[in-house]
Structure 1
Amino acid sequence: MLSLYHEARSPVHRSPAGAKLAVLLVVGTGLFFVRSIAALGAALLVVALCYAVAKVPARVGLRQLRPVLPVLIAIVIAQLVLTGWVTAVLVGQRVLVLVALANLVTLTTRTSAMIDTVEAVLRPLRPLGVRPERVGLLVALTIRFVPVLKEQVDQVRAAHRARGLRGTRFLTPLLIKTLRLADGLGSAIEARGGPD
């Protein structure tokens, strides 16, 4: 399975997946109660320090952030127009800290460890009808196919640029390729008897 995991020996890598996911949940929730530009700036510096402790090169961290930047810029501009510069900066900082921290968790945690943690947390809910294995499979597929879909987008856009095409006309072939990918995945899962 394709993973964004970055191999290194560090305290962050050795930390349990459950602890890292818990920190991500707590910090992600707490960020929305912070209304100080300075405090959020400090949080961003702490996350950057965590990248250094985890021995994740700056280029790797920035590469993970690059696909999010257009969305982040759009959000900041919308907030700037609708609410003002202070709120725009706060929202931009929150999103940046949260995405950077989530990327750090992904880069320092093996996919199998994350899936095992999610399944272990959900196991007590089995009597209520929750299927931990299915949720684990969903997590695995999400992690697996985010980079795959990005690769599909890059391929289709490159093909369109090579033909001299511009605009959003690449969306139709991208949708077709994505649906074929999903259909093939569904057939493979069904052939193996599903996630159970």
Structure 2
Amino acid sequence: MNTAGLYVPGTSLPYRMTAGGKLLVLLAVITVLLVLGNPWVSLGAAVAVVLLYAVFGLAGHLWHAFRPVLLFLAAVGVFHVLFNDVETAVRVCAQLAAAVLLAGLVTRTTRVSEMLDLFERLARPLRVVGVRSERVALVLALTIRCVPLVAESWRSSREAYMARGLRGGAHRMVVPVIVNLIRSSEALGAAMNARGVD
């Protein structure tokens, strides 16, 4: 089972680390960058993470990890250049880039099953207040499963829309996508009921 379809099989160092260890490294790096607040350290960290993708054989996945936030980083950079200064823009954008790329490295080297086991263990102390740790893992698993499900529903609705020779704004596909997701959720609920999941 992989993290929203992002897991890439491998044997390098990150694959041998536990999910908890990788999350601690991620938290430590982000904390250090925020505490230091140095634009050159932040920029160096971002470059170092880029190099880690190459070192661990994941260079081909670098663009896929970075592309979703590219426009957001550009907007943040422009905002800080206009209302603060270039140094602040470099620091904030480098911190965000390093965090996003490092998180992408974690998701590509960690199976969802490992991550869910970790969250279930972390949630066990909450049993004293009535929280069931296995329910936490189930909710997280369903949430992760829904990410590619929404993307697939959007893709199939778009293909059907274009196959009919229709053109226009993407807003016209919202209703079909919602209908497909409702049907999928009903099927999932029926399957869970059939297996005795309350």
In the superposition, the TM-score normalised over structure 2's length comes to 0.79
CA contact (8 A) 1:47 1:100 kept: yes
CA distance in 2, matches of 1:166, 1:107: 34
**Structure 1 residue aligned with 2:182:** 179
CA contact (8 A) 2:43 2:95 kept: no
**What is the RMSD of the two structures over their aligned residues, measured on CA atoms?**
2.7
CA contact (8 A) 1:12 1:53 kept: no
Q: In structure 2, the residue corresponding to 1:109 is in which secondary structure?
A: coil
1:160-181 Cα deviation digits (max 9, x unpaired)? 5662213533333333333333
Q: 1:143 is matched by which residue type in structure 2?
A: I
CA contact (8 A) 2:43 2:91 kept: no
- For structure 2, the residue ranges without an aligned partner over 5 or more in a row are none
- For structure 1, the residue ranges without an aligned partner over 5 or more in a row are none
In the superposition, the TM-score normalised over structure 1's length comes to 0.80
CA contact (8 A) 1:160 1:166 kept: no
CA distance in 2, matches of 1:179, 1:80: 44
**Structure 2 residue aligned with 1:38:** 40
Quote the offset at 1:98 in angstroms: 1.5
**Structure 2 residue aligned with 1:11:** 13
CA distance in 2, matches of 1:70, 1:94: 15
Quote the offset at 1:20 in angstroms: 0.6
CA distance in 1, matches of 2:156, 2:35: 40
Count of residues in correspondence between the two structures: 194
Q: In structure 2, the residue corresponding to 1:47 is in which secondary structure?
A: helix
CA contact (8 A) 2:42 2:91 kept: yes
Q: In structure 2, the residue corresponding to 1:106 is in which secondary structure?
A: helix
**Structure 2 residue aligned with 1:100:** 101
Q: How much identity, in percent, do the aligned residues show?
A: 39
In our comparison, the structure showing a higher alpha carbon Rg is 2
Q: Pick which of 101-110 and 67-76 moved more.
A: 67-76
CA contact (8 A) 2:22 2:106 kept: yes
